[in-house]
A and B are shown apart, each in its own frame.
Chain A
């Protein structure tokens, strides 16, 4: 969409433009990156961050200085790993050792990799990976240990997946496999970030004791992307939707994209959304355990984007035709809401959950399951932010009033008296005017006495006229 197209679009969608301007003008980052104190190497790392991550880059840069660089490096390390894994031009014999040994590569000064195909968009990161290694080694040892551990697990997971892809087809069969794949590519990221937050004392240490929570954070994002990217992955000859789900609706995966199977495809898509939504409750639970504002923003923005994307994809035929995205205005609005506090985020979650709920239809085999899952998310939000409390209900039952309520009641009583006075005054005026009108009419010769007498006699209509001469 060009400049003119944009102008036309925003003319008809002023709220979208308002959201964008609101975010650009009024957003106050909790922390801002100080570029003057950065080394050339660090600047290069942030340049790569900008290039490889359109969505996360801005949020990472608003992190607390303690975690800004560690998380930037963590992101780039995983992006490097992912770039190797994604490149189908690298043969397995070369790829597998790279993935499994990537954690050791992080300590090899000057290492780089030039084996990616030229079209691989993040190739340059690996060509200049030495700058990442340098900054990795400059970090606190505690952070290094965490990143190294996650890199090891993820590298092994990716290698296992590549080996499996080489032997038989790479498609996901069961929901368990689906969850495992998402765990390796996203759940582990959640684990690593959680350990970094706790190490920096920005998160509740109890988060480490509930691995399901940070695992859900990662899986929620990854599953959302898999659902949204169904067409793009299909065109690339990849499929991540588990066979256990789509085989209930169609015989072959390709059938999902045929127009005659639209109903089955929509039902299949909604079952995928249902599977992802089951993580929603745990995501909110996790976010309640974060203490620092920039860390909260960092975690909350992707989750809000994810549920908005799920709402967009739910029972939407377009996901099988093209890659659909949230509009920029909606994205800015979501970012604005996600950076306030947990309650505002919960309101957003509730609104989007209800929007999904609204589109649910009894034609869907999973109609009730979707309804139950939406209900559980709403109940969880009600648990942490009750709309009313037992104490308030007790007070109401006993008739006891708080100070504010007592004052409000007094004001209401005064207002009521004012209203009564106004009504009495109006009544008086009406009576006076009516009296004057009747008196004036009488003075001008109106025969009210005759009219009244006729009414008493029961004559409500004027008497019919009698013709004096029939022939006239």
Chain B
């Protein structure tokens, strides 16, 4: 046994230098450290008599791992170190090859495409344990563990809101070890449920002093900035809330970004909106990509979000990686922007009226898919960072016409328009203008305006290829299911019961 000892020592030395080299990479952060306790905890459940090796990569990161190996060897649970498949550790790989030759044992390699550290276990050929399953399970645990180490503390602004609370719920579910701090101007709301162990700080993000104090007190390393002001339907296409919207959406983002830079945050995910492009309603937006420019003539909401997004993306650096997600029109539990106005058309007897040709496609997203996208963005920014400085349209990739969306929602509430009256867009445009004039004179509110007419006739869906390619985003919740769940949630909030599904329908036995 005296012979192999010097070889292992040499491998350790080479590994150390490789680690140093990886650490000096300009845009990739150094791989996070795995503690001996963690490795032991993970390996312990795999207490099979046939475990014969453990990755030397971990040993290079932690020289103390040899203690674990010694303990396992004393229990006859392991014999040799094995190599790993990472390109950065070629020397170690060769060393592993030699070890493999000596013992003639089969080895399984697991290579994480993001370059995260991983553990490789070897099993003897006589083992009947499915080592692929064990290694796969172990790799998943390692990934989650290292992710948790990378962003141990996440701050979510707007966390009590519709999108923010969905992000918090998804994050808490996937990464239970991560500490989540929510900052918002309003306290948690009953329709937006938050997990129990979330700490909330009530503050206004337009106050830079309050924001920086919160950052210093909590020291987050990842920030998700979702907080913002979305004008309601009545004010959306006017300019009444211009100052307030700009202050919240742009200056608030400025404060968040400045605080993040000052307190050493490593990743910043900004929740932008597709409206930065699509609110230019003088043009249709079919199958747009992220290369499309921001709207020239836009709503105050679109303008403020576009300015904030540009600010965030330009701030991306090696210290602080940023990206922006542009969700499309959203539905889901707690929605108060999409379903309520459409549902209100039933009681106002507006459902038969169809403006335009009714063929304009929209891509609506369920909020849980947007939450998934945010988690994927966080994971990317703390690992490969290929998403840094980029914006992404997030949608369901199932475009349907706006008219069909309305018809589906009404059908869930048991209403089907008996007739369909088509109104030319130009006529509706003048009706909207008339309503705007009356509103301006009388000082009242109305839902009909030139803006709502253009909005209802707009084409707005994106290609979605960039998010799929870089983030690996796929909509898990289909739009049909999403609409159904949203209608059920809204019905329960209204205190009404939805009519039962088509009783004549039978389910094919699967």
Task: Determine whether B432 belongs to the interface, using a CB cutoff of 8 Å to chain A.
Answer: no
Min CB distance A369 to B, Å, is 6
Give chain B residues whose Cβ lies under 8 Å from the Cβ of A243: 508
Give chain B residues whose Cβ lies under 8 Å from the Cβ of A390: 288-289, 291-293
- Which residue from B283, B292, B294, B404 sits with its C-beta under 8 Å from A360? B404
Task: Determine whether A469 belongs to the interface, using a CB cutoff of 8 Å to chain B.
Answer: no
Task: Determine whether A388 belongs to the interface, using a CB cutoff of 8 Å to chain B.
Answer: yes
Q: CB distance B401 to A375 under 8 Å?
A: yes
Q: CB distance B416 to A363 under 8 Å?
A: yes
Task: Determine whether B132 belongs to the interface, using a CB cutoff of 8 Å to chain A.
Answer: no
Task: Determine whether A365 belongs to the interface, using a CB cutoff of 8 Å to chain B.
Answer: yes
User: A248 and B408 in contact (CB under 8 A), knowing A375-B400, A386-B287, A390-B289?
Assistant: no
Task: Determine whether A409 belongs to the interface, using a CB cutoff of 8 Å to chain B.
Answer: no
Q: Which of B404-423 contact A (CB under 8 A)?
A: 404, 407-408, 410-411, 416
Interface contact tally, CB-CB below 8 A:
91
Task: Determine whether B124 belongs to the interface, using a CB cutoff of 8 Å to chain A.
Answer: no
Give chain B residues whose Cβ lies under 8 Å from the Cβ of A363: 411, 416
Pairs A–B under 8 Å by Cβ, sample size 5: A372-B398, A375-B400, A388-B283, A390-B292, A393-B283
Q: CB distance B286 to A387 under 8 Å?
A: yes
Task: Determine whether B310 belongs to the interface, using a CB cutoff of 8 Å to chain A.
Answer: no
Give chain B residues whose Cβ lies under 8 Å from the Cβ of A354: 359
- Which residue from A247, A371, A387, A397 sits with its C-beta under 8 Å from B508? A247
Q: CB distance A367 to B407 under 8 Å?
A: yes
Q: Mark B458-471, 1 if CB is under 8 A from A, else 0.
A: 00010100000000
Bound: A207/B283 CA distance, A: 36
Give chain A residues whose Cβ lies under 8 Å from the Cβ of B398: 372, 375-376
Q: CB distance B410 to A357 under 8 Å?
A: no
Give chain A residues whose Cβ lies under 8 Å from the Cβ of B75: none
- Which residue from B399, B407, B483, B505 sits with its C-beta under 8 Å from A379? B399
Q: CB distance B286 to A368 under 8 Å?
A: no
Give chain B residues whose Cβ lies under 8 Å from the Cβ of A372: 398-400, 479-480
Residues of B within 8 A of A (CB): 283-284, 286-289, 291-294, 296, 358-359, 361, 398-401, 404, 407-408, 410-411, 416, 461, 463, 479-480, 483, 502, 504-508
Q: CB distance B287 to A249 under 8 Å?
A: no
- Which residue from A367, A379, A394 sits with its C-beta under 8 Å from B287? A379
Bound: A365/B287 CA distance, A: 28
Give chain B residues whose Cβ lies under 8 Å from the Cβ of A245: 508
Min CB distance A7 to B, Å, is 36
Give chain A residues whose Cβ lies under 8 Å from the Cβ of B480: 368-369, 372
Q: CB distance B287 to A383 under 8 Å?
A: yes
Q: CB distance B399 to A249 under 8 Å?
A: no
Q: CB distance A368 to B399 under 8 Å?
A: no
- Which residue from B284, B410, B479 sits with its C-beta under 8 Å from A362? B410
Bound: A369/B404 CA distance, A: 11
A249-B504, A376-B398 are known; give 6 further A-B pairs, CB within 8 A.
Answer: A247-B508, A248-B506, A248-B508, A372-B400, A379-B399, A387-B286
Give chain B residues whose Cβ lies under 8 Å from the Cβ of A361: 416
Give chain A residues whose Cβ lies under 8 Å from the Cβ of B292: 390, 393-394
- Which residue from B296, B408, B479, B504 sits with its C-beta under 8 Å from A367? B408
User: A248 and B507 in contact (CB under 8 A), knowing A362-B408, A378-B399, A379-B399?
Assistant: yes
Min CB distance A376 to B, Å, is 7
Bound: A367/B507 CA distance, A: 17
Bound: A93/B461 CA distance, A: 58
User: A357 and B502 in contact (CB under 8 A), knowing A368-B483, A390-B291?
Assistant: no
Task: Determine whether A226 belongs to the interface, using a CB cutoff of 8 Å to chain B.
Answer: no
- Which residue from B284, B359, B408, B506 sits with its C-beta under 8 Å from A387? B284
Give chain B residues whose Cβ lies under 8 Å from the Cβ of A368: 400, 404, 408, 479-480, 483
